Structure 1
Amino acid sequence: MKKLLNAVVRRAALLALASTLALPALAQSGKDLRIGYQKGASLLVLQKAQGSIEKKLAPLGVGVKWVEFPAGPQLLEGLNVGSVDVGFTGEAPPIFAQAAGARFYYIGNEPAAPRAEAIVVPKDSAIRSVAELKGRKVALNKGSNVHYLLVKLLEKHGLKVSDITPVYLPPADARAAFESKAVDAWAIWDPYTAAAEKQIGARVLADATGVASNHQFYLAERGYADRNPQVIRALFADSVEKGEWLKAHPRQAAEQIAPLQGLPVDVVEVSLRRSEFGVKPLTPAVTAQQQRIADTFTELRLIPKPISVREAAWQEPQ
């Protein structure tokens, strides 16, 4: 009995210690908006460069902490485990995350930008059509927006994913494999596409025009959005303002974004001109498009169960 009592006391002490250690993290989460971003997310990178979100949130007593991720799937994992409060990513990562049980909301989206993602091949490649990818190695970031693009482009040309050899790599590793010709093609998004075109002469085999919308989505961890709707509204307002400024001043925006992306200004400007800006709340049409992607992944058994995208759409408190 004494041993049992001692064990209970020790367990209670450990739980109390764990709670105490967790307090700074909870306080930090309440004080700062932790934004998950990718270097390729040009609008967020511009906002980071200008400090505009910090200025917008200052009257609310909220600071900003920026957390960089290599791609969307990793960002969604960060959102799921609570290391970030909001994030920005393409179409496919939220679907994989929702199917895995992640708790987040879609809080907005940018307009469709089908020219901002593509499959590229080396400049001296003999491959001239998507149909010729049969039996070839194609690099892509698994679970990213180009995952859906690759599926649909192959389907359009009478192929299945099983007809190629997918090589799952994050952008930096995929670029290295592409340059060394360890892969035959690369499914990738801007600004990486523009960089490959400008720097090593990569040739666009096909972009998403007529195949995929390529929406970009703003996401928020559910608990954070429910507790802090005023922060979400302020972030949304700043994104609208800066999106309008970027559209009107692409060269100036590229000059500010380029140092943070580590790319030449002309590369960044090309990628900006192929993108679309003007964040809006999710509409039924965009939700339906996202649902079609989810249903495709279900049919291909890329996700373990069907999901309802509509259930993850944020309903702003009145």
Structure 2
Amino acid sequence: MTLRSLLRWTAPLLLAASLHAHAETTLRIGFQKSASLLTLQKSSGSLEKKLAPLGVSVKWVEFPAGPQLLEGLNVGAVDVGFVGEAPPIFAQAAGARFVYIGFDPAAPEAEALVVPKDSVVKTVADLKGKKVALNKGSNVHYLLVKALEKQGLKITDIQPVYLPPADARAAFERGAVDAWVIWDPFLAAVEQQSSARLLADGRGLVNNYAYYLAERSFAEKQPHVIQALFEDTQAQATWLKANLKAAAAVIAPLQGLPVEVVEKSLSRYQFGVKPLTAAVAAEQQKIADTFHALGLIPKPIRVADALPGNTKLAEAAR
């Protein structure tokens, strides 16, 4: 075979390979180790198998908490993320470009205010003047506001100490703070391992929804990728809910927690992504309005401005 005939034979193959490489998409998912369902998906490789036929690879990017994840989404480090109620509001107020693409059902028991077992603090009202640790801008920020409000108190009546979960637990256990407002599985861990006493969880105060967010241009251009993501998420959620013990056994070592702690945490969540409804968006708007009234965000925002305008994208969540 001459060089010319060899090139004539291989050129179409090289072109096809080049086009395939160019067409391949990477879905970069921002997640927190505490997000048990995503941790399970990452471990199982189920999403990679689901997306491979579409020419889509997956990159998992870990963040310590929701606010940091939103920063990653805003600077283009990730395409999709999963966070609690409050981070999107702070991010939208800061001008971040993202859209809400789905949500997990309410889980009010999966976040709570806790104190050391021998604390003199017996009720939320007793927190006046006390130091309370929390991750600023996270879902528990709203829980703290509502728990205090129920007792006629404002966040200015306490001393907020803003710390990420690992640092907050250390401060809590050495007595540097009087209380900690935190979410699962960190909540279940401190309850079981440190005998922390629960002052109040989210029941009757907050919904504690969790949201799937996407960088706006990615969401608009790749609705088929988001649809495949949600199909896999729903399949893994169905398995998890039917197999709590087995799921906990897989997730526990990845989160660095005992199996019984993870199982308790899983029991307090209702997994399974759903399309955003008008009622859920309205609840999110209430949180945004509350944060603005308290001066926690500098300007009012409209949650509706961060809802998908892409019909295909809206259908993907269904």
Q: Normalised by the size of structure 1, how large is the TM-score?
A: 0.90
Corresponding position: 1:91 with 2:101? no
Structure 1 match to 2:60: 66
Q: Distance in 1 between matches of 2:24 and 2:299?
A: 34
Equivalence for 1:269: 263
Structure 1 outlier segments of 4+, above 4 Å:
27-30
Shift in Å, 1:226 = 1.1
Query: What's 2:244 paired with?
Result: 250
Secondary structure of 1:48's partner? helix
TM-fit CA distance, 1:49 = 1.1
Matched with 1:310 is 304
The alpha-carbon deviation at position 29 of structure 1 amounts to 11
Of the structure 1 ranges 44-53 and 307-316, higher mean CA displacement relative to structure 2 is found in: 307-316
Partners of 1:141 and 1:43 in 2: CA distance: 21
Structure 2 contact 134–168 (Cα < 8 Å) conserved: yes
Q: How far has the Cα of 1:279 moved from its partner?
A: 1.1
Give the match for residue 202 of structure 1: 196
Aligned-partner Cα distance in 1 for 2:91–2:113:
24
Counterpart of 2:116?
122
Whether 1:228 and 2:222 are equivalent positions in the alignment is: yes
Is the partner of 2:300 in helix, strand or coil?
A: coil
| Partner Cα separation in structure 2 for residue 28 and residue 188 of structure 1 | 43
Q: Does the aligned pair in 1 maintain the 2:108–2:207 contact within 8 Å?
A: yes
Partner letter of residue 106 of structure 1?
A: Y
Structure 1 residue 317: deviation in Å?
3.3
- Aligned mates of 1:283, 1:233 — CA distance in 2: 17
Aligned residues: 292
1:294 to 288, 291, 300: 288
Shift of 1:152: 0.4
**Counterpart in 2 of 1:137?**
131
Partner Cα distance (2:22, 2:59) in 1: 10
User: What is the alpha-carbon root mean square deviation over aligned residues?
Assistant: 1.3
Query: What is the alpha-carbon distance in structure 2 between the residues aligned to residue 67 and residue 226 of structure 1?
Result: 21
Moved more, 131-140 or 53-62: 53-62
1:94-138 alpha-carbon deviations (Å, 9 max, x no partner): 000001000001000000000000000001111110000001000
Deviation, 1:315, is 3.8
Choose which of 158, 165, 185 in structure 2 pairs with 1:164: 158
Structure 1 unmatched runs, 5+: 1-26
Letter paired with 1:146: V
- Asked if 1:49 is matched to 2:43, the reply is yes
Q: Contact between 1:38 and 1:69, CA under 8 Å: does it hold in 2?
A: yes
Q: Which residue of 199, 211, 224 corresponds with 2:205? A: 211
- What is the rounded CA distance, in whole Å, between the counterparts of 1:131 and 1:76 in structure 2? 32
Partner Cα separation in structure 1 for residue 303 and residue 244 of structure 2 = 33
Q: 1:290 Cα deviation (Å)?
A: 0.3
In the other structure, the counterpart of 1:185 is 179
Kindly provide the amino acid, as one letter, of the partner of residue 107 in structure 1. I
SS at match of 1:139: strand
CA contact (8 A) 1:105 1:220 kept: yes
Amino acid at match of 1:53: L
Change (3 A) 1:28 1:265: farther
Q: Classify the secondary structure of the residue corresponding to 1:88.
A: strand
* Conserved 8 A contact 2:48-2:57: yes
- Answer yes or no: is the 8 Å Cα contact 1:229–1:317 preserved in 2: no
Match of 2:7 in 1: none
* Equivalent residue for 1:106, pick from 97, 100, 106: 100
Q: What is residue 79 of structure 1 aligned with on the other side?
A: 73
Kindly state the Cα deviation for residue 311 of structure 1 after the two structures are TM-superposed. 1.6
Deviations 1:34-77 (A, max 9, x none): 11000110110111111111111111111111110000000000
